[in-house]
Amino acid sequence: MRVFSAATRFGAVALSLALLAGCASNATDSPIDEGKYANTGERELYAMARDSLDNSHYITAIERLEALDSRYPFGSHAEQAQLELIYAYYENNQWEETRAAGSRFLRLHPDHPQADYAYYLRGLAAWQAGRFSLERLRIIDISKRDIGASRDSYKDFRDLLTRYPQSDYAPDAEQRIVYLRELLARHELHAADYYLRRGAYVAAVKRGRWVLEHYPESTATADAMATMVEGYQGLGMDDRASEVLKVLKDNAPDHKQLKNGTFKPRHG
């Protein structure tokens, strides 16, 4: 079975880091009649698929790899074809298909030596799918946006680091996690602020607690505690508010809602 060389693996990383938005090369691709594969052997079909990949003809590569996977599911090139199909989907900007193919590969081959690559591409696909919210976070009401794709990306990269900390893709995944962690934490606080403004204090407290429990390394933890203080005060739970306020003062004495040791609610 053919495996990616180190150069190929690092080449994939470079392409992924570039986050190419287009695939102009596909303009020269034309649909292929799958009937043409009826008399094509596994080795020849795989060579044809590789030729398409090498020439960045991703639509054609996908068609040939899908045909190979369908006609020779237990062939000598099956595992490699499934792995390269994930890559072809990704380069063709088919994010859902990339994730589905990655999940299928990991389910069928959980101990494959290149399983880390499948996790990485699955995470990159979710990252790309969530780019609208990533890029426009500061100019939209994030509490009204669905950032499920960004959550999926965060989980995939965390799984990669947990399972394969020495992977070639771990450094890039780690950098993306830092950014995603801040994004997701801030999203929770935007939602919490929305609840505070509407007097939904229980929901606001839950959002603040979620940030502390799930994103303790983010820079949003102090704001999360302030949110909880304000939420508890709104609920008339002064004892709980005082407990969290003490922690806030101990850990972030210069927080913007602390004036001369006194907590200043943003709402109410």
Give the Cβ contact number of residue 20 at 10 Å: 13
pTM of the model: 0.77
Q: Are 205 and 230 in contact (CB under 8 A)?
A: no
Tens of pLDDT, residue by residue over 110-125, are: 999 999 999 999 999 9
Q: Which amino acid is at 194?
A: Y
State the pLDDT at residue 39.
80
Measured CA to CA, the distance from residue 224 to residue 195 in angstroms comes to: 13
Rounded to an integer, the average pLDDT of 96-123 is 97
CA dihedral 66, 71, 76, 81 (to 10 degrees): 0
Tens of pLDDT, residue by residue over 191-236, are: 999 999 999 999 999 999 999 999 999 999 999 999 999 999 999 9
Measured CA to CA, the distance from residue 245 to residue 247 in angstroms comes to: 5
Burial group, residue 40, by CB count within 10 angstroms (0-12, 13-18, 19+): middle
- Give percent of the chain above pLDDT 90: 75
- Which CA distances in Å does 74 have to 70, 77, 81, 89, 213? 10, 8, 11, 21, 45
Phi and psi angles of residue 262, each rounded to the nearest 5 degrees, phi first: -105, 135
Q: Among 218, 230, 235, which Cα is nearest to 256's? A: 230
Q: Among 134, 216, 223, 145, which Cα is nearest to 180's? A: 134
Identify the CATH assignment for 1-108 out of 1.20.200.10, 1.10.580.10, 1.25.40.10, 3.40.50.700.
1.25.40.10
State the pLDDT at residue 71.
92
The SS3 of residue 20 is coil
State CA 266 to chain mean position distance: 32
Q: Among 141, 132, 236, which Cα is nearest to 189's? A: 141
State the pLDDT at residue 38.
76
